[in-house]
Structure formats: C-alpha cells, structure tokens
Copies of this chain bind each other. A is one copy, B any other.
Amino acid sequence: MQPLRDSSATLAAEMASLGRAARAAQAVVAESPVEQRNSALFRASTALRDGISALLEANSTDLAAARVTPAMADRLRLDESRILAMAAGLEAIAALPDPLGRVLARWSRPNGLEITRISVPLGVIGVIYEARPNVTADAGALCLKAGNATILRPGSESFRSSSAILSAIHQGLTSSGLPSTAIQMVPTRDRAAVGIMLAMDDAIDVIVPRGGKSLVARVQAEARVPVLAHLDGNCHVYVDGGADLAMAVRIAFNAKLRRTGVCGAAETLLLDRRLSADAMRAVIGPLLGAACELRGDPAIRALDARVRPAAPADWDIEYLDAILAVGVVDGVEGAIAHIARHGSHHTDAIVTENAAAAERFLAAVDSAIVLHNASTQFADGGEFGMGAEIGIATGRLHARGPVGVEQLTTFKYVVRGDGQVRP
C-alpha cells in the first residue's frame, strides 16, 4: 500500500523553495540599476495593456466561481478602465525617484573614519491580500522599485486574475533581464500557505497584509515575521472652541463622508464644550442632512432629535460607513484624553484658529498622522506626495503612516578609513 501523499509536507517544501528563490532574486534586484527596475515596470505596463482580453477572461472565471458578497465581487471585478489604471500605476511607480543608494546621513569621526548611512532594500516582502487583484501589480511594483523581492498571496477568489496580472509582470521582469522570481505568487489556494508565510522568518523580512480587519488581526496575532499594517483607523476630528466654524463644518463633513470606506475616514467627531449649541448644530446639521447616522452623547442628543444614543462601544468602532460617533469634550485636553483612550494611533485632526491649542494637540496626540485644519482623508501616500503606498502603518517601528517606496527600504552604515584600528 502506498502511503498517503503528505500534502502539508509538500506545501511546506514548496513554500521553502519559494523563499529560497526570493532570497536569491532579491540579491540581484538589490544591485540592479534603477533604469533596469524601471524598464521592468514599463514593460509590465505594456504587457498588461496588451493582455487585457486574457485578463478579463481570467477575471470572468474568478467571478463565476466566486461565492462572494456583492461588495466583494465589486472589489474582485476588473474592467478595461481598471486594468488601464493598474498599468498607469506601474508607470507612475517607475517615474518615482530611486529610493536606493540615498545618503541619509554622513559624518566624520576625529580619527578620520567617514561614516555614511545609505538606503538599501528591506529584503523579501510577503504581501497577503484578499479579493482585489490590482494589489498584485501595485504591491509587486512598489516592492520591486525599492529593490525588494516579493512573495504575493492573493485571496483564493482572485487566484486566476492575480496569476494573469503576474504573468504580465513576469514579461516585464524577464524582458528587462531581471529574474521572474523577484515577484512570485504562492502557487496554491490552500489557506495553510498563509500560516507558513507568517512563520517564514528566515526567508521573509516583513509581511504586509492588505485587507479587512480579520485578515490584519490574524496576521498580527500569528506572524513570526515583522508586520507593517494598521488594524484600525479610528480617526478623530476635534472641533475646538477657537475654530473657524465654516471650516469646521467643511472638514467634519469631508473627513466623514468623502469616502466612508477608507482608513482615513473620521469615525468620531469631538466638539469642544465651549462651542455654542448653534455652532454645534451647524457642524452636525450637514452630516445629518446627508443621511449620516450620528451616535451622540447626551449633550449632542439634546441638540437634535435625529441623533441616536451612543453606546460605550461606539467610541472604539471603525464604522467604515456613514455612521459617526459624536461627543462633547472639555477643550483640547479633553480631546487629547479621549483620543488617548479610544484612538488607534492612525490619523487625528484638530480644527482651530488658536495656535497654542493646535500645537498642544499636534504634540500630545500620539498618532502616525496628526493634522491641523485639514481633513483626515488626506491620510494617503498619494496625498502625501509619495506617489503610491502599499498601506498605512500604525506600529511604532520602522514605518508609520503611509508606506511608500522609501518606507520599503532600510539602511546600512558604510565606514571608510585609511587603516584605522581601535585603540
């Protein structure tokens, strides 16, 4: 009798082989001139445009096979304009300056040693994502630009679409003389592959999860590899007593409703107790008028009958929907205390004309991004001028805020001497 095929051992061996190939490719990509990396991105963009019909066919098969919600199907669906946007994204990343070899610092020592701190690639990056097939192109391209190798693990429902996109990227890599193993995809839908990736701390230097809260939570809980991610974007807008009221109305509305599903969308509005009832009504009125559900504390509920009562949990929820918790706080110190207790260290804004209150808020709120007189929806690598981002990080180490190509690098010290020995 034949022994049963040990599929978990086979998967482990496949993943280990993927890891070795990534490490080898990374050494090549790390030393490749930026022209070569850019050429791969341009050629991948061309291959994507040339392969639209094959890609649409793969995507149709994915869609037909997927048992997903309408929202997930929308994320999974590709059309010509989405594919062209993906191709344009590759070219935009190619147009960014080379993030490698930058001199980050340089100084000399009294003994004549000259020390330079130089940007180098982060290494091998694992990207774990869900339905959106465009992450295959975006994440792979950002990592490549920064000299990294990438191991992609798309959601099983977008497996065929992601494979088709990867094939275009591979055309770009190989026709530019770079190894196709610089950007690899886990070759199976088996969910056990995610667990293996999270434990591959020899082969993978950092994991970037792209997806919903349950994916990020699983990655953060299980990973043996460092993770760049944010779990929650519980962003706050605080309207100070010293605010320009018209500006406060505009910013609160935009921060909540421009797009409700993005991580920089405001989830809690804090109003200074010093604001008049009319001023408070002016801020919440347009939100209510736009059918945004407000969940308020007693003081806010007293302003308008349409405000529903906020439960204690409402201060901690990232709704990602047209729902907003609204509370009254005692000035900037009250806002700082509220955010320290309920915030997620992502993005928080103060609206005020009072410079001292603004500086106090900007200094004391311990978040990756703090804003004065601007909407929290600016929490985005593109809006920061980084060109593109692989995500937003709320951890404290290495990268905080938008993670663009610069944040996908690390550094080394190069020390030049003329024979120095240490006394």
Contacts and interface: CB of A to CB of B under 8 A. Distances in A.
Interface of A: 27, 30-31, 107, 109, 113, 115, 120, 122-123, 205-206, 226, 244, 247, 250-251, 253-255, 258, 340, 358, 362-364, 366-375, 377-378, 383-385, 395-398, 400-401, 410-422
Contacts of A364: 31
A417 B410 CA distance: 30
A109 B414 contact: no
Contact of A372 (B123, B340, B415): B415
Q: Copy number of this protein in the oligomer? A: 2
Contact of A419 (B369, B374, B417, B421): B374
A375 B253 CA distance: 61
Contact of A226 (B113, B115, B226, B369): B226
Contacts of A247: 419
B384 A413 contact: yes
Contact of A412 (B31, B253, B369, B385): B369
Contacts of A384: 109, 115, 413
20 contacts: A27-B340, A31-B363, A31-B364, A107-B385, A109-B383, A109-B384, A123-B396, A205-B397, A226-B395, A251-B419, A253-B421, A254-B421, A367-B412, A369-B413, A370-B412, A373-B417, A374-B421, A378-B415, A383-B422, A396-B410
A9 B317 CA distance: 30
Nearest to A105: B406
Contacts of A107: 385
A378 B419 contact: no
At the interface, is chain A mostly helix, strand, loop or mixed?
mixed
A341 to B, nearest CB: 11
Of A247, A415, A419, chain B has the most CB atoms within 10 Å of the CB of A415
B370 A422 contact: no
Contacts of A244: 419
A395 to B, nearest CB: 8
B31 A413 contact: no
A349 B125 CA distance: 28
A22 to B, nearest CB: 14
Contacts of A397: 122, 205-206, 226, 397-398, 410
A367 B396 CA distance: 23
A314 B236 CA distance: 57
A310 to B, nearest CB: 25
Given A31-B364, A367-B412, A371-B415, 13 more contacts: A206-B396, A254-B422, A258-B421, A370-B413, A373-B418, A373-B419, A374-B421, A375-B422, A377-B421, A377-B422, A384-B413, A397-B398, A401-B412
A326 B374 CA distance: 61
Contacts of A415: 369-372, 374, 378
Nearest to A374: B417
Contacts of A375: 420-422
Contacts of A416: 358, 371-374
Given A107-B385, A206-B397, A410-B400, A378 B420 contact: yes
